[in-house]
Structure 1
Amino acid sequence: MRRSFVWAIAILAFVECVFWLFAGLVQWQFAGFSLGPVYSPQVAEGARRSLTEFAWGALNIACLVAYYLRAWSWGRWLMAAIQLANLAVTLYLGFSTVSCGENGFAGFWLAAIPAGSLALQYLLWRRIDRRPGSSPPLAALRTPITLAIVVVALAVGAALAVAGWRLSLYGIESHSGTVSTVTTENGALSVTIDSSPRVYTFSDYAFEPVPLLRPGERVVILTGEACNYGRPLAVQAARGVWIDSIYGEAVRPYAPFNWGEHETLRSSLLSIGLVIELLSLVGISLWIG
């Protein structure tokens, strides 16, 4: 049984070594690729990333060799450390490649390899290598029903945390104040408010009709900072609500005046989801022993 766990952990580590070396090779091959002019800083950045991935792959290989030679002693702790680092790196890559809540989620599948390796190592440490005669803590609670409850809680916590995170992807900010100036040029309405130095432009092709705003009235403007380069997505005043017809789906079904409800829901989902995830992970570790 122990040999099977060790081989499974080594195979997962070998897959990661191949992945990092292959990623470095691809990055090296395409370091100077561009649909337009190629500039030396771009090539240097691509080469730097390639060498970083090669170095990370070499470190993974060194840890794999150490685990093979000293799986009973310090090699296991070195393998756990590198897999924990791999998990952090792959999660970072997953978060950094997601584009405005639509693309890049496949990058999170890479985190399954180090996560699976860590789970196998924990099982090996706490169950297979346990001293004969020792009893795990809370052994009476180690039943299939408690395991099912913990797994369901883990899934629910993940779903809540991901839902809250998705609500944060667009980086929508709320700007409230009193309209200072209103100008119209080429069918676009430009507005300034007393609480911000920015100029908010509402084009006639995105807002149909163009918002009816006048100096002196209170408005709340929502802007998309992460995906829409700070452009206004919605505005609300006493005379109505106007939402961008192209990118306004990021705002609906809310409106600027009740955007606080969106933010409360977002923070609640994130907080509750993360708390449930942490408690579920503790429950799984206690169930394993």
Structure 2
Amino acid sequence: MALLTRIAELYQETDEIRRYRLVAADGGALPAGTPGSHIDVQLESGLVRQYSLCNGPGEQGVFEIAVKREPASRGGSAAVHAGFRVGGLVPVSAPRNSFPLQDDADHHLLLAGGIGITPLLSMARHLAAAGKPFHLHYFVRSARDAAFRELLASPTLRGSVTQHHGLDPAETADVLRAVSRVRPSGGHLYVCGPAPFMACATGAAGAWPEGTVHQEWFAAAPSDSDGAATGRPFRVRLARQDVEFEVAPGQSILQALDAHDIFAPRSCEQGFCGTCEVAVLEGEPDHRDTYLSEEERRRGKVMMPCVSRCRGPLLVLDL
């Protein structure tokens, strides 16, 4: 982690969501992020988790993140809620952006489900400040569960924000179809939220041209193929080390590397952060990540070994 931050402020947005304002521990300015950026946050346990920046255009030099306490936490959100206190020190990375606003878009349609509001809030704040056309639809279980209520009701945003409270899945699908039925001229669509919401929203926008629908995942995307917990065995050869071994059903490539005492960088281990990306020298990857673009998947020159597998008998990796 390149940056040491201090928790300057903590806000209880909802019963389950807390917003944290991070400043540089040395009193300097943190590097600026662009709308849609996220940072890697290192927890005391050694876990690394990614959180989107909520910053508006007037909040440079600091990082604002919001974290929902998930009932089925894999250790990340639970550790943040239990351990993050004002004055505490937190190592983080510089901002990275795999979910940017498209500069050539004439209109931006933002669809947020639950905690997926975090990157889209930053987008909305920047678009409003720049006077660019957009509309944000925020789907949440109830008004009580809606985060950022004051910001979303502010004069700069409220005319371009519609909140949808307490809709069941069928009602949510109806609204998503209605709002994405007609694509504004030059429009781009941005979606973030739970996997079922993402699938529904992108399905409703199926008629939008390729390259105009953008997604940010907070967990691994559902896959039509066998997951890393199933699938066929295959072999991996590490070109730099002249080592070859089998990856068994129920085992990821990263787990196989660990079993042979070979370290490879990793963070989310769910295929959405890009930390473990590795070059493929031979073989056809079975991509199961949500990080690579469709073009990168077609080329097959890189892959995410935390979740992806092999369509043939052998992969040769640049490790």
TM-score range, shorter chain: under 0.3
Flag the structure with larger Rg. 1
Q: What's the TM-score, normalizing by structure 1?
A: 0.24
Q: What's the TM-score, normalizing by structure 2?
A: 0.22
Bigger RCO (CA 8 Å, 6+ sep): 1
